[in-house]
Chains A and B, each alone.
Chain A
């Protein structure tokens, strides 16, 4: 059974700092890995999607990497801003048995960026 772990559970940084959020998963047979953002009282918004054959994806100040063999992904946020404050969730999609739909989520990292 796939398990996804995110460390730390919470992180507080001053504005302008670069930061890294970590995600690990137990089964390397994945189809893709996705990072989501969740704001309080709202749904999830997809930030980045990395296919299993890729090593990284970038969008603006965000960069996500994937090391499938070690079961790890990182989300790098450059020059953090107060508007980045949210919970960030990592999710992996199974890559076999016709299950290319089922996302297994980590419990998220609550990020607070202080002005």
Chain B
């Protein structure tokens, strides 16, 4: 089992550019989460999918952020346009029973 896979691992972009983060959950897990981690705010839930359907997007900071899950094995988090305050580590996690399994994260730097 390869675990949760995220790409890219690092992304450096300029303000105003579009950023797309990708996630492949563990096969057979039907729940997927996107989190953001910063020093100031810690880990925050952005959006939660169950069976590919967005259930809770109340953590998405603003309309510049969007997430999709077109099938059970792939999800994207898009930021358009990006801003320096979006700089953070973004984690994807999938769930089996009550345990969430985290990917290695994408470190995003917006200049």
Contact = CB atoms under 8 A, between A and B. Distances in A.
A44 B48 contact: no
A46 B99 contact: yes
A51 B45 CA distance: 21
The size bracket of the interface on A is 20 to 34
B43 A105 contact: yes
A108 B42 contact: yes
A89 B42 CA distance: 10
**Residue among B43, B95, B99, B104 with most chain A CB within 10 A:** B43
Contacts, number: 50
Nearest to A42: B104
The size bracket of the interface on B is 20 to 34
- B interface majority secondary structure: strand
B99 A43 contact: no
Nearest to A6: B42
Contacts of B45: 102-103
B103 A43 contact: yes
Interface of B: 4, 31, 33, 42-43, 45, 48, 50, 55-56, 91, 93, 95, 98-105, 107
Lowest 6 A-B CB distances belong to which pairs? A43-B102, A105-B43, A44-B102, A107-B42, A43-B104, A46-B99
Interface of A: 31-32, 34, 36, 41-46, 49, 51, 89, 91, 93, 100-103, 105-108
